[in-house]
A and B are shown apart, each in its own frame.
Chain A
């Protein structure tokens, strides 16, 4: 009997631990909305029932189980939570740009749940963002996929723990500017960028072999095998080769995109997504055949030399060529109205409603490897939902409520002037930046000292 009590106590204790580590899950019934499922069509006067964070039923005349709140959405639109495949919101550090390869750094270490950008994203209907390392180096850090559970103080609560690992790569001007011209190390050119990647993967293969042979021989009697040096940098690259990590690569030009496709094919890498991809329309069939697609801006280019050649039809061309295509923000400002950005693909390219909405829902979900969990309104999926007052692709639309796992984190009716979670005790007015100083995207945040070095190198050349 006593023993049983112990077991029970242990079991209950364990149960409590599990619940305390869990993130909040909600139940709600949304009534009479136009439901835009994105993957399974659109339905008028339809209800969505959410229980414990999961979509349980989509249909007409559903009734709420006892204790479940009902929201009347008559005349309103419900769509899946918007997913931003390229963001730097809620990160204390964006770039560890000091070496050409820094695959060992983890953006999960730097997640800051207090950043007001999370709430602003929720106000724009965004429930999941891909908090990426910057583009200062060829192989940057491992990214974090976030769920915008605003209000938590624990970074672990806003990290989507069941999302697969992803990593940032970068081609072209940023890494060559920082390393080659800034600090006099490889890569100085696009050829150097390719060499850095190939050398990195080849070293990772050696690294993996060295550990395999050490691990197999150390248990043998009288073994003289000694442990190889530990390198999380090379281990991470080996994990990419083993298909455990999805590459998200900052890229602009068609030639460099095609280069990376060839490198990936040589090393048997299949999990590859291109970011920005402004010249993607030139290599759309190749992107469609060999990769997990491209994540692009709707109509943003010409902010530096390598981005002069682009078109607002880029997303539509990629999409119609069969490439998985998403539209991202890479900005604390654009993330607030990605639905407008998606709508631009209808003006430039005439995409259908479902194709346009897929650009900010199921397609980015596929590129992040979370399309089995989020990205559409389907029974069994996590209940990340947004209610709009007009069709989300209408220029007049305004998000009304945003849910993550069935929990409402944004309601326009309850929106306060001051939504900050953390207020400094010693600052009268805290600095707020929607745009960074140079009005450039945040990909190059934390790189000031490297540009100083870059400028220094330039001045020296004049002597």
Chain B
């Protein structure tokens, strides 16, 4: 206990030192402070807004604001110049609803005398007063991952139960700075019940949502009457009711997580009954309700991912009956249809945007390409990433396009967006420049020669940097038919020692290898994805877990198999 006080005291001292420094403008012992906040990206190909042709030009930014765009921009002396001659610049991407950098708070302890049929709101997951800013960390690895994918703004939401709390719009800028654009921008809600107490299921959640809404509305009425009339008894507003006030007064929307068409209908029916502003997020299967989304004029955020194709890959060619083949065909049809959904939204004229929740940053560009291959126009895809998201979030004035006066948020790529080999070289968010390593692709004509030289079979030793420290293990890869199989060892999440899992979905294309394995952590099964590039006997890459982010990984082929 004493030790904690000491720690707290020490921390307080540190904080006060930092504050003192910034206010006294003394020299910067950390060495982190930038030399300048003024940058010029010169002679780059600019795509200022969706649908616009690329044109050569220069962008000048200062303190996170665009000062000038075009050909006649004067570059001041203090500007650092980023040579943009071979770069393609797009407005920074905007995540309509995310949970990057958000850590779920500890569940509050259940009171001993709690009655499960009538639990306190906080225990039952009804916490509209909570703000995501208490759960957000700008330095989380997921924030880095999404920034690397081109995202510069995210509306993040807290974790929790049926009404987790209020979101905030964050710029993915300097991790040490204050990145808030808008506090309490929307209230999040979903149909998740609380385990073992009221409301336990989606049907209870809908009833409880109505009850919370109606009583919050009545509480406001009571408050108004109390303020205007003498002799009125004192209103006893609960934290839930005051947390709901901005929604009742229609100042902010409720952003409902609805993954399929039936949930979309449920959220829209609640909206029609109660009259709040509604935004839908997390959409996966929504083809049957596109007309309803259109006619109800509800803004939608779809998931920035495509469904996994395990059921397609698992289909057998031989030894199956006609009936099974017919079922296969239906699964394939359903899969193809799900890939086309985004293009159907575009055809219906619905200006949708994306949510990064549940998606993997490393696969974001692949998902976008797949949507485009399935009929979505590049213009609509870029609009979903930029202008549509800005408009749904109500920040069009400051973000979404490259224009003078808007925030300095850009993605700088080595080729035009959505082309196969385009890589993100820089991301500028809030005027801060983030550089990323651009990997040289093997020349396409030399590919066949090279691929013979890549050897993966054998025993690899790997190390990975995770927030919990460095860890590592052994990776064994064997040839199996035309593909590969194997096992991987890792630090057992359940305690000490090593655990081992089989690896699956091993793919090797060119010098890039990827595979997955499942880890059982506390009863929950997590899928870990490893991707890396092999040069000689070493591999550099990353290990990623959805919702936790990705961590660098390096491996060495310790004993290659000889019987190749």
Residues of A within 8 A of B (CB): 92-93, 95-100, 102, 104-107, 109-110, 112, 141, 153-155, 179, 183, 185, 222-224, 226-227, 229-233, 417-418, 420, 423-429, 446, 449-450, 452-453
Contacts and interface: CB of A to CB of B under 8 A. Distances in A.
A449 B200 contact: yes
A425 B326 contact: no
B314 A98 contact: no
Nearest to B223: A226
A297 to B, nearest CB: 26
Nearest to A113: B262
B116 A418 contact: no
A226 B330 contact: no
B229 A425 contact: no
B201 A95 contact: yes
B265 interface: yes
Contacts of B207: 96, 102, 104-106, 109, 141, 232
B72 interface: no
A102 B265 CA distance: 22
Contact of A424 (B288, B323, B334): B334
Given A104-B207, A232-B207, A423-B330, 12 more contacts: A105-B206, A109-B202, A109-B203, A109-B207, A226-B222, A230-B215, A418-B330, A425-B307, A426-B308, A426-B311, A446-B200, A446-B201
A21 to B, nearest CB: 12
26 contacts: A92-B202, A95-B201, A96-B203, A98-B201, A102-B207, A105-B204, A105-B207, A106-B206, A141-B203, A141-B207, A224-B233, A226-B232, A229-B215, A230-B214, A230-B218, A232-B214, A423-B331, A423-B333, A425-B331, A425-B338, A426-B309, A426-B310, A427-B311, A428-B331, A449-B200, A452-B196
Contacts of A427: 311, 331
B250 interface: no
Interface in B185-228: 195-204, 206-207, 210-211, 214-215, 218, 221-222, 225-226
Interface in B283-342: 288-289, 307-311, 314-315, 323, 326-327, 330-331, 333-335, 337-338
A357 to B, nearest CB: 34
A107 B198 contact: no
Contacts of B311: 424-428
Most A CB contacts (10 A, CB to CB) among B197, B233, B308 go to B197
Contacts of A185: 115-117
A105 B203 contact: yes
Given A97-B200, A98-B196, A153 B215 contact: no
A92 B191 CA distance: 12
Given A230-B211, A230-B214, A98 B203 contact: no
B176 to A, nearest CB: 41
> How would you classify the secondary structure of chain A's contact residues: helix, strand, loop or mixed?
loop
Nearest to A429: B327
B245 to A, nearest CB: 16
A141 B232 CA distance: 36
Contact of A154 (B233, B265, B323): B265
B303 to A, nearest CB: 13
A104 B199 CA distance: 11
Interface string B116-143: 1110000000000000000000000000
B218 A224 contact: no
Contact of A99 (B117, B226, B229, B261): B117
B256 to A, nearest CB: 14
A449 B195 contact: yes
B5 to A, nearest CB: 38
B231 interface: yes
Residue from B200, B202, B337, B338 having most chain A Cβ neighbours under 10 A = B200
B366 interface: no
A96 B116 CA distance: 12
A295 B221 CA distance: 46
A230 B244 CA distance: 15
B235 interface: yes
A231 B212 CA distance: 10
A93 B203 contact: yes
A7 to B, nearest CB: 23
A104 to B, nearest CB: 4
Contacts of B199: 96, 98
A179 B265 CA distance: 32
Max chain A C-beta neighbours (<10 A), residue from B231, B314, B327: B327
Contact of A107 (B203, B218, B335): B203
